[in-house]
Amino acid sequence: MKKTHIVGIAIIALAIAAIIGTLSDSSTYENFDVAFENPNHEFHVVGTLNKEKPTIYDPKNNPNEFIFYMLDKKNVEKKVILHKTKPQDFERSEQIVIIGKASGEDFHAEQILMKCPSKYNDGSGEFKTPEEHNEQNLSS
Amino acid sequence: MEFVGEHLLAGKVGNFFVIFSFCAALLAAISYFFATQKNDADWKTLGRISFLAHGVGILGIISTLFFMILNQYFEYYYVWQHSSTELPLRYIFSCFWEGQEGSFLLWAFWHMVIGVVFLFIRNKWEAPVLSIFGLVQAFLMSMLLGVYFFEYRLGSNPFTALLREHPDFSDIPLFTNPNYLENLDGRGLNPLLQNYWMTIHPPTLFLGFASTLLPFALAISGLWTKQYKEWLKTAIPWTFFSIFILAIGILMGGAWAYEALSFGGFWAWDPVENASLVPWLTLVGAGHLMIVEQRRGGVMKSLLFLTFLTFILVLYSSFLTRSGVLGDASVHAFTDLGMSGQLLLYLLTFVAISIFIFVLRYKHLPSSEKEEELWSREFWMFIGALVLFISSFQITISTSIPVINKIFGSDLAPPVDAIEHYNSWQVPFVIVILLLMGFSQFFNYKKTEFKKFFGKIFTALLISAGLAVAIGLSMQMFNPFHLFMLFAALFAAVANLDYLIRVMKGKIRFSGASISHAGFGIMMLGALLSMGKQEIISNNTSSYDVTMLGENYDNQESILLMKDDTLQMGDYLVSYVGKEKEGVNIKYNINYYTKNDKGELTKEFTLKPQVQLNDRMGNVPEPDTRHFLFKDIYTHVTWAVLEEKKDDEVEKAETQNLHVGDTVFLKRAILIVDSLKQASPIKYEELMPDDIAVEVALTLWDFDTKAHKMSPVFVLRDSSKVFSIPSINEDLGISISFDRIYPNNGSIDLTFIEKKSEQKEFIVMQAVLFPYINLLWLGCLIMSIGIIISIRNSIRIFKK
């Protein structure tokens, strides 16, 4: 057996390990029901902010705690405690992804991603009504 | 309706150039194809003419688009979307390539420039190489066509008029005016991209991407014309040029992220960053295998594989970032321009070409039957290239999770802690690479005697082990992986410098490899120390209790700074002294002080992190960093009250019955009722001579234990009319009125009205100390110099 064969086998083994490692490290997108059935396991939950309920951020008390109510894709609402600073402009988010664990009645999130318009956005979604569009362009 | 003042000619000219350069590119591809197949000079001349015509076409498109942006033709969708009347001229380039169409143009422009240069150096590979260039360019130009085939739109044309792109806008009152252009302004360049990085980063990165095409085209040409090895001579300098430019482009992206975006570091394993890193890794592997193949041979198949893969990964990265497939997975959520099908076709075409020609010529590929020598430089270079491949494979798999989801319909989410995930794989890989860099310089090509080798390497091993122990101890590094990487990085740097001095005797001409490898070692040392030992200094110093938060949640990375308060943070005392507004940016001035033995404060520096009020992406914090030789202090505002609160919001009035000597706890002070006395009419203008007026003296202690005096007055006028002259204290945000006296027990009624909002302004901020980050930039510089020396040397060999 040539050395290159040994190397080749090692490479394949590492490649398989990389795939398995990635799969095992990857989390899954779930709804609140699954997250709360498996407390203390990490999940990604996608949903939207419940804008009817208040968001609580009292930085004087604790700058690293932000509480809001989120609806998941099945429209289940839970109280979310984000252990971070409140993201600037949070209320404008269209969609939220929270990453963290369920514990008791609350979901404790360590990270948050918000869907926001980006540099590659074609911008057409920005003008939902003609009036808004008009205002925006005429104001400048 | 007829509109007034639209400049429709410019669009027609631009469109003509798009179609012209598309056709010319196709013609160049075909002509050069036949020139290669038939070895025919006429076909070659036609190819030459059409490729140059294609170049003229691209310059025409670019000039037209610039002309439209400069003259602010907002009737065009692209200009409207990316520019505005307020855009400063210096951002005109950023504006040009902000959109997908502009960045395709930039990419195609660099392909064209490289192609034309290649054409003029009259290389013998001109015909097959430029045939492939022509095909690539035809694909890129098709992205700009904007032609409809039935329902499917091919490409997105930057010369489309606004109202044609958005027929839905025609209902908007603005556009019902035939003279709408007088009122129309563009949406403007995203404020986040209005900085010099956006001017220099994209052209560099795209030159890097574009330059990977030449090694790819040369490899294909070699197989095509059955001259399996000859192409290497031409390919090596170009490959290392590409490695150089792409490295600069990637690091520039890192520097941008570090300086101006709040990633909290220069590398965050973001999908977009990964997409640019992966082709670089495979290209570095390919470049090294080219050297091995030229010296000794036997690695042609792996070399071709990595060369093809590099270009395909460039296409794949463009597919990932432009097709919208990354979706939720990236912080940059990209939107689909409806071109994912076209992008996929572009990608798959070149995958198919690569596989086809590889399989077709597989049997003829040179290979070596003899056993590889274990103690030879080329064997370990080969191993290094494979490690690079595995490393890029791992990054690709993890970054492609959204693609895997699309294909298999699965619902996988990216790893929760992406940085941790990638580091756990990539740190071991980089350790192996660094060790190989150190060792393999001391191996000879072909065969090395082990004892001799060990004697040579011993000094470097000893020095770097000593340094690693010293640095590890002084910086308190306890993570074994970090320690191992520390040793490996030092070893790569020391061994290569040692080789340069002792073996090469400082001969610069041949020292490219040693210098660039030493540079890479220093770069990794900087990366390890700055990221591994970064210290969030903004924790736990605020006076507010954070221990009650409980178990696992200790990421207390931000502190609250009240305006004018001074808090301890790391070795500094910091104070938030105020803010100022500059355009769309609010700058927060934060002073850093040091305290000497006597307790005196000395102001060291001021940092001005800012929050950008960005109506397109939400408000974006932008950090400010103080650079020192051996560390950086990085500060960014994580939260601030942006809208001014109305001051007149007050709590419900509250009345209390009190005696002299009583204490009342208010929101912002503790109040003590001192005494009652008759109010003097001289002191209060409102009083009339016959009024009976009683004043109550109050002392309010605020929480800084400062005393404030207040004295509301109770007035009885004409024996029937009762009212109070309230006392107001702005600092405490309180108004107190004296409503009643009870003569029977001497008690009084006071009514308190307190302001709801705290008067004091505050910010929440994060500060991070990055030690020795300058080593990263220094290493990058040294590596660049080394690569340039190598390129010069390989050109010299090539000319012989």
CATH number at residue A76: 2.40.50.140
Does B178 fall in a domain?
Answer: yes
When pLDDT is averaged across residues A128-134 and rounded to a whole number, the result is 33
pLDDT per residue over A8-60, tens digit each?
888 888 888 888 888 787 777 888 888 888 887 888 888 888 888 888 888 77
Structural domains counted in chain A: 1
Does A70 fall in a domain?
Answer: yes
* Residue B271 structure tokens: 């999908």
Does A36 fall in a domain?
Answer: yes
**B682 and B633 housed in the same domain:** no
Paired residues of B607 in beta bridges: B590
**B246 and B344 housed in the same domain:** yes
**B336 and B398 housed in the same domain:** yes
Q: Could you give the CA distance from residue B177 to residue B225 in angstroms, rounded to a whole number?
A: 62
Does B493 fall in a domain?
Answer: no
* Residue B478 structure tokens: 């306890």
Does A18 fall in a domain?
Answer: no
**B18 and B85 housed in the same domain:** yes
**DSSP H helices in B687-773:** none
C-alpha of B191 from chain center? 15
Does B222 fall in a domain?
Answer: yes
**What pTM was estimated for this model as a whole?**
0.83
Instruction: Report the residue from B331, B390, B639 with minimal CB separation from A59.
Output: B639
Does A73 fall in a domain?
Answer: yes
Instruction: Report the residue from A11, A88, A119 with minimal CB separation from B193.
Output: A119
**B184 and B261 housed in the same domain:** no
Instruction: Report the residue from B389, B559, B617 with minimal CB separation from A117.
Output: B617
* Residue B439 structure tokens: 């060792």
Does B246 fall in a domain?
Answer: yes
Q: Could you give the CA distance from residue B521 to residue B632 in angstroms, rounded to a whole number?
A: 21
In contact, B494 and B467? CB cutoff 8 Å? yes
Does B200 fall in a domain?
Answer: yes
- Helices B126-142, B8-38: axis angle to 10 degrees equals 150
Paired residues of B637 in beta bridges: B765
| Amino acid type, B651 | E
Q: Could you give the CA distance from residue B169 to residue B165 in angstroms, rounded to a whole number?
A: 9
Does A1 fall in a domain?
Answer: no
Min Cα–Cα distance to chain B from A68, Å: 16
- Picking from B437, B492, B503, the residue whose alpha carbon sits closest to that of residue B468 is B492
| Amino acid type, B353 | I
Interchain contact, B618 vs A23, CB within 8 Å: no
**B659 and B611 housed in the same domain:** no
Q: Could you give the CA distance from residue B741 to residue B340 in angstroms, rounded to a whole number?
A: 81
Instruction: Report the residue from B86, B335, B553 with minimal CB separation from A121.
Output: B335
pLDDT value of residue B650? 66
Low pLDDT (below 50) residues in chain B: 331-334, 541-554
* Residue B158 structure tokens: 């930057």
**B16 and B165 housed in the same domain:** yes
**B228 and B357 housed in the same domain:** yes
Q: What domain range is A41 assigned to?
A: 29-118
Q: Strand B559-562 to strand B762-771: parallel, antiparallel, or no bridges (unpaired)?
A: antiparallel
Does A64 fall in a domain?
Answer: yes
Q: Could you give the CA distance from residue B474 to residue B261 in angstroms, rounded to a whole number?
A: 31
In contact, B543 and B799? CB cutoff 8 Å? no
Q: Could you give the CA distance from residue B610 to residue B579 in angstroms, rounded to a whole number?
A: 9
What is the phi/psi pair of residue B579, to 5°? -135, 160
Structural domains counted in chain B: 4
Interchain contact, A115 vs B172, CB within 8 Å: no
Does B348 fall in a domain?
Answer: yes
Q: Is A103 helix (H, G, I), strand (E, B) or coil?
A: strand
**B306 and B238 housed in the same domain:** yes
**B134 and B248 housed in the same domain:** no
Does B279 fall in a domain?
Answer: no
- Helices B126-142, B213-224: axis angle to 10 degrees equals 130
Q: How far is CA B428 from CA A4, A45, B470, B524, B619, in A?
A: 21, 32, 22, 13, 38
Interchain contact, B322 vs A120, CB within 8 Å: yes
Interchain contact, A140 vs B556, CB within 8 Å: no
In contact, B323 and B339? CB cutoff 8 Å? yes
pLDDT value of residue A134? 36
Q: Check CB contact of A24 with chain B, cutoff 8 Å.
A: no
Q: What domain range is B684 assigned to?
A: 654-754
Residue reference for tokens 């005196």? B600
Q: Check CB contact of A39 with chain B, cutoff 8 Å.
A: no
pLDDT value of residue A126? 36
* Residue B512 structure tokens: 């490219």
Does A9 fall in a domain?
Answer: no
pLDDT value of residue B521? 96
Does A85 fall in a domain?
Answer: yes
CB contact residues (below 8 A), chain B span 311-370, against chain A: 321-322, 328, 331-335, 337
Inform me whether the pLDDT recorded for A129 exceeds 60.
no
Min Cα–Cα distance to chain B from A136, Å: 9
Contact residues, chain A, for B758 at CB < 8 Å: 60
**B145 and B121 housed in the same domain:** yes
Min Cα–Cα distance to chain B from A70, Å: 17
ipTM confidence: 0.76
| Count of CB atoms situated within 10 Å of the CB of B203 | 15
* Residue B267 structure tokens: 């590398």
In contact, B93 and B70? CB cutoff 8 Å? no
Q: Could you give the CA distance from residue B691 to residue B249 in angstroms, rounded to a whole number?
A: 83
- Give the dihedral of Cα atoms B94, B99, B105, B111; nearest 10 deg: 80
Interchain contact, A22 vs B639, CB within 8 Å: no
Q: Check CB contact of A23 with chain B, cutoff 8 Å.
A: yes
Interchain contact, B413 vs A44, CB within 8 Å: yes
Does B529 fall in a domain?
Answer: no
